[in-house]
Each structure stands twice: as C-alpha cells, then as structure tokens.
Amino acid sequence: MPLIGVLAALATVTLWGCNFVAVKFAVSDVPPFFVTAMRFALLTILLFPFLRVPKRMMKDIVQYALIMGVGHFSIMFYAIQFLDISTTGIVLQLGTPFVVLLAWLMLGEKFGIWRMAGMASAFIGIVVLIGVPTVGVDVFSLLVLVVAAFMWAYGSIRAKQIVGISPFSLIAWMALIVAPVTLGLSWVFEVDQVERLMVADMRFWASLAYMTLASSIAGYGLWYYLLNNYEVTAVAPFNLLVPLIAVGCGITIMGDELTMTKLIGGAMILGGVCLITVRQIIVSRREKIHAATHGTAT
C-alpha cells in the first residue's frame, strides 16, 4: 500500500478510535436514545442526495437499519454511559469473532483451528472482564455492549446480502429509518431530553458534530475509498488499531484506570481478534496465489 493509502487508513482508525470520547461526552449530557436520534437525523439531512429509491430491496434495508441503528448504535450509546471508553473500545472488537461465527451459521463459510482458537481467546477474554469482581465495571452494561457487538456482526452479514446500492445510500436510508425509531424509544424510556438538551454546553454540540461529520461521513468515506482502491487484506489490519486508540484516549483524556484485569481480558480479546484477522489475510493470499497459479497452468 502506498503512503497515501497508509495515511488514509491511519486517519480513518484515528477518527473511529477518538469517536468513543465524543460518544461518552454526548451521552453524559443528553440521554443516549435521544442522542442516537439526533445523530441519525443530522445524517439524513447531510446525506439526503443519496436517498435514491432502491428497487426490491426496501425490506432488506429496513432490517439492516434496525439491526445496526437500533440493535448496535443505540444500545452501545446506552452502555457507554456506565463504562469507560477503554473497556468499550476493547469489548466491541468481539464483533469480529461474532462475524466468523455468523458466517458459518448463515452463509455456510468454514473456519479452521486457528480461527476457532481466536474466537475462544476473545470469548474467554470477555469472561475475564465480566467474571472478576475487582474489574470495577457495570456487568449489565458490559453484557449490553456484548449484544451491541453481536448486532454489529449480524448487521455486517446482512449488509453482504444487500447488493446494488452504494454505501452512502445505505447509510442515508439507515439514518432516515433509525432517527424516528430511536426518537420513539427516547420518549418511551427517557425523561428530560429537551430540558437537558437546552442546557447542554458546546462540548455536547462538538461531540454530536464529530460523531456525524468526522466518524460517520469522513471516517466511512475514507474507509470506502480504501476498500475500493486497495486489497481488503491490506486495509483490514488497520482496524485493529481502533481499540488501541480508544484505550489511549481513555487513559489520556478521560483518566481511565488500566487495571491488571482489563489488561489480561483486553489482551485476550484483542489477541483473538488479531489471530482471526491475520489468519484471514493468510488464507486470502493463499487462495489468490493458487488461483493465479491455476490460471497460468491452464
């Protein structure tokens, strides 16, 4: 990958890693479902030109929107209220082993001993984080975050089944669908949304702008640029930097405490994710070499 690609990848993961700080600030000032509704409403306005009418895909798009927008983002925003961003950034990496598991169950994809070992390491890591009393985290919120990671994985699988629509069009439709749904959830489960919004300071508005413009539009714009111009196996490993950046932001900006339990559990989760990712890269390269060799031979 040339230098411009490396810089774009580093910019992307930095935007996403720092986004945890923005989310934490936002949901500290305004209830999380209401924040989710505001974020997606703003995205709908900004991405309105991409709202082209999809052909015969509306059912799939609605399902994807509810899975990702409500099942992932809204409950992740809820959980981060009660967790530090270091733990949040690490636990959400469980999405990778969940993707492997769901690909096996839903798409019939196979995985070998190495990916099984990676999955086992990641899931044991979350047990360490949940099961040790001295970890000092809200166990219920941690479990909610695990569900958010699972929903991200499920949404990723569903996205693979939606063809013929551009990434920004898919995000625009998700935003349009999710904004009113999460607003409804806010009115049912939350109180004092408007009052807290009216007294929110510039930190909240800056966080909302960052989540929408930097993380969603700039971050995903750069990511799609990378995927369209370089091999996935060259781009994917950079995503492993996101939790490391989140941990760094948590320690330096939020004052998160990095306990031994978090180090052990986090290392097991990230180690398992790394093993799955690296193994996927090796397998992809072998398949490419085999295809090239087979094509030459024939």
pLDDT digits (tens, 9 = 90+) for 17-35: 899 999 999 999 999 999 9
Whether the per-residue pLDDT at 225 is higher than 90: the answer is no
pLDDT for residue 290? 57
Longest CA–CA separation in the chain, Å: 71
Considering just the CA atoms, what is the radius of gyration of the chain in Å?
19
Task: Give the alpha-carbon dihedral of 250, 223, 277, 17, to 10 degrees.
Answer: 0
Mean pLDDT of 279-297: 62
Report the pLDDT value the prediction gives residue 135, as an integer from 0 to 100: 46
Q: Per-residue pLDDT tens for 247-272?
A: 888 888 888 777 777 777 777 777 77
Q: What is the pLDDT at residue 73?
A: 92
83-107: pLDDT as tens digits: 888 888 888 888 877 877 787 777 6
pLDDT at 180 over 60: yes
d(CA 126, CA 116) in angstroms, rounded, equals: 16
Between 210 and 95, whose confidence is greater?
210
> Which pTM value belongs to this model?
0.81
Write down the pLDDT at residue 136. 55
Which residue from 287, 284, 166 is spatially nearest to 224, judged by alpha carbons? 166
Q: How far apart are CA 189 and CA 132, in angstroms?
A: 31
pLDDT, position 291: 61
